[in-house]
């Protein structure tokens, strides 16, 4: 979905409001796939600041499905991010503003840009998530496997293997 900026840029002081939903099915960032079943909502307010500059203010909100950091099961993660930025239209090409193409503001790309800035470092399905068996790959929240995982911190597992050598 695109919003044409021609009108806004040619009228000093002009103010435009947009409230809409965009559909982004999924995106990849940092090796993780983020899925989105529902729509992403965007509220935007654009204000012409004169001399082909404008302010872009608003919020993006929705629910992302993010794999749990330990067991990989998807977790619903609500995200809501506010932003406000001044954009000098004449610098758009030089600064590689991804969501402006020619005179069009691409709302999906803008939403994605803001979501990525606000992604959590990691998400857990629960604080007590048992993760995945590092030998058979079973989800230990759902099954108890018969592997010998002892009660050793996975970070120390490498030492356990070392001791076996002796
Ligand atoms: Zn988990
Ligand atoms: Zn196992």
CA 88–ligand 2 middle distance (angstroms): 56
pLDDT surpasses 60 at 39: yes
| 42 band by pLDDT with thresholds 50, 70 and 90 | very high
pLDDT band at 156 (very low <50, low <70, confident <90, very high): low
Q: What is the mean pLDDT of the chain?
A: 90
Give residue 38 CA to ligand 2 midpoint distance, Å: 35
* 164 pLDDT more than 80: no
Closest-lying ligand to the alpha carbon of 126?
1
> What is the DSSP-derived secondary structure letter of residue 101?
E
Is beta strand 53-67 parallel, antiparallel or unpaired with respect to 26-29? unpaired
Ligand nearest to the CA of 147: 2
Considering every ligand atom shown, identify the ligand nearest to the alpha carbon of residue 146 and give its number: 2
Ligand nearest to the Cα of 144, by number: 2
Least confident of 19-33, 105-119, 150-164: 150-164
pLDDT band at 157 (very low <50, low <70, confident <90, very high): low
Token duo for residue 138 = 């079973």
> Residue 79 pLDDT more than 50?
yes
Confidence of residue 14 (pLDDT cuts 50, 70, 90): very high
Q: What percent of the chain has pLDDT above 70?
A: 89
Query: Which numbered ligand comes closest to the C-alpha of 142?
Result: 1
pLDDT in tens, 88-101: 988 887 777 889 99
Q: How far is the CA of 132 from the centre of ligand 2 (A)?
A: 8
Q: List pLDDT tens digits, range 110-127.
A: 999 999 999 999 999 999
User: Is the Cα dihedral 19, 24, 28, 34 positive or negative?
Assistant: positive
Ligand 2 center to 64 CA (angstroms)? 29
- The residue extents of the domains of the chain are 2-117, 130-166
The burial of 133, by beta-carbon neighbours within 10 Å (0-12 exposed, 13-18 middle, 19 or more buried), is given as middle
Instruction: Return the H-helix or E-strand segment holding 162.
Output: helix 157-164
In the structure encoding, which two tokens stand for residue 39, read together? 């729509």
CA of 140 to the centre of ligand 1 (A): 9
Centre of ligand 1 to C-alpha 30, Å, is: 19
Ligand 2 centroid distance, CA of 138 (Å)? 6
């Amino acid at each position: 979905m695109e919003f044409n900026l021609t009108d806004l840029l040619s009228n000093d002081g002009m103010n435009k409001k947009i409230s809409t939903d965009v559909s982004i099915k999924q995106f990849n960032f940092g090796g993780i796939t983020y899925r989105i079943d529902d729509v992403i909502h965007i509220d935007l307010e654009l204000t012409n600041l004169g001399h082909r500059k404008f302010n872009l203010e608003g919020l993006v909100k929705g629910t992302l499905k993010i794999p749990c950091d330990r067991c990989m099961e998807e977790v619903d993660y609500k995200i809501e991010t506010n932003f406000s930025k001044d954009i000098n239209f004449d610098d758009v090409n030089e600064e590689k503003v991804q969501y402006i193409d020619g005179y069009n503001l691409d709302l999906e790309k803008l939403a994605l840009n803001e979501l990525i800035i606000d992604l959590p470092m990691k998400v857990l399905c629960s604080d007590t998530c048992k993760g995945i068996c590092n030998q058979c790959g079973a989800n230990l929240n759902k099954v108890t496997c018969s592997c010998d995982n002892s009660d050793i911190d996975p970070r120390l597992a490498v030492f356990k293997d070392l001791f076996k050598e002796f």
